[in-house]
Amino acid sequence: MKNAALENCRKKFDMTAADMAAMVREFQSEMERGLEGRDSSLKMIPTFVDCATGKEEGSYIALDLGGTNFRVLGVRLDGRGGISVEHVGKYVIPTAVMRGTGEQLFNFIAGSIKEFMTKNRISASDDRKLGFTFSFPVKQTAVAKGVLITWTKDFSASGVVGNDVVGLLSAALAGYGLEKIEIAALLNDTVGTLVAKSYEDPGCDVGVIFGTGTNACYRERIDRIRKLPGLDGKGHMIVNIEWGNFSKAPANEYDRMLDQVSGNPGQQLMEKKISGMYLGELTRLLISDLIADKSLFAGEKVNFSRGQFESQHMSLIEADDSADLSAVKLFLGGIGIPDATLEDRAVLKEACRIVSDRAAKISAAALSAVFTWMDPKLDGKHTAAIDGSVYEKHPGFRERVLAALKELHGEKAGKLALVSAKDGSGVGAAVVAAVAASA
């Protein structure tokens, strides 16, 4: 009975090589539409900056603003692919400032930058370039210009939505006597991840986040970005795909259930299949069905309610390779199921594996679409710089993505490298500032 129920679940989440290849075609069709400015689930946002050459050098300031906590970093580039973080300052934005006026918010940030410079003996009389990671929805119109579309993450500072955040920060810096600081670049963490790694490895042309959320960017030929007709068409530019919103990845009844009760129905549909924010809930829905038809925890009064099962629990369960699944037993005991049989524990582990397997295959298909969009026959070598908790911490996730890429491309998958890249939102901001300054 249990094996039959699991097999039924496996079929619902199964993704064959043909399914992945079909997704690649759909993904590239959406990429093309997005680049042309037509209706698409992929925004394909131009960033107005290219990858690093590895020859950029000098000292830069990076501002990483993505939530209540933000960081200021002093970063030095040696011109030979080497990056050193010389200073780090961490600051907490008071709730009253987050919800006050834009002037209060940017004055607080500018004051923190001044404090950082004073503490680390960085002269305010010298010209400085600053890279600004701003992890909120913006419409970017130049490398150092972007209008806030809407606040998220409990921010509601007035007078910012609809305005250029670089201009607001520049005015605040001038008010603190820091007019010598030039904000050279505005970026998100995905772009920072790519550019920071490209400084060390010129073969890196894709940046990806597989974490609480997911996104990717890549290096595009400017003549293919047809929604920017004013450019001369020469050279390359990084494009922010915003791939979490891709709407044509295969979906089943559990995906639809999760989407309906989410805070943004119909949006971020691929993200809801592969990111840390949603994988646990997707698995919980599957587990709840197994419990309901008595294929799991039969005879026990068990109710897995929404929010009780998280992605980190999946990681813990899938990582348990002990003969008696003792870590799974301990976890279940902690949530009020002390008498689960070994078979129950094995079914629970397999349910987690079914969901994370598909997540890896969807991730591989999206990566394949980007790699083969740049290089249809994979004649050259390509590197994706990847950051995020799912990629770094979920057992076997990286290996399963690589296996799916091999399933799609055979021996040519050996030309595709996936490398860990840390702190694109911090160090990457400084490298992007250096690239923009030398353009």
Question: Is 164 a known active-site residue?
Answer: no
**64, 91 Cβ separation under 8 angstroms:** no
**19, 364 Cβ separation under 8 angstroms:** no
What whole-number distance in Å separates Cα of residue 168 and Cα of residue 382?
Answer: 38
DSSP state string for 83-129: EEEEEEEEEE--HHHHTSBHHHHHHHHHHHHHHHHHHTT--TTS-EE
| Local structure of residue 244 (DSSP, 8 states) | G
Q: Which member of 189, 205, 259, 387 is catalytic?
A: 189
What whole-number distance in Å separates Cα of residue 286 and Cα of residue 31?
Answer: 32
CA 155, 217, 71: angle at the middle one, nearest 5? Answer: 40
**145, 88 Cβ separation under 8 angstroms:** no
The whole-angstrom distance between residue 18's C-alpha and the CA centroid of its chain comes to: 26
206 φ, ψ (degrees, to nearest 5) = -135, 140
**264, 200 Cβ separation under 8 angstroms:** no
What whole-number distance in Å separates Cα of residue 225 and Cα of residue 416?
Answer: 24
Among 390, 309, 357, 48, which residue's Cα sits nearest to residue 188?
A: 48
Question: Which residue type sits at 127?
Answer: D
Question: Is 201 a known active-site residue?
Answer: no
Q: Which member of 11, 139, 153, 294 is catalytic?
A: 153
Report residue 401 as tokens: 């993505």
Active site residues: 153, 189
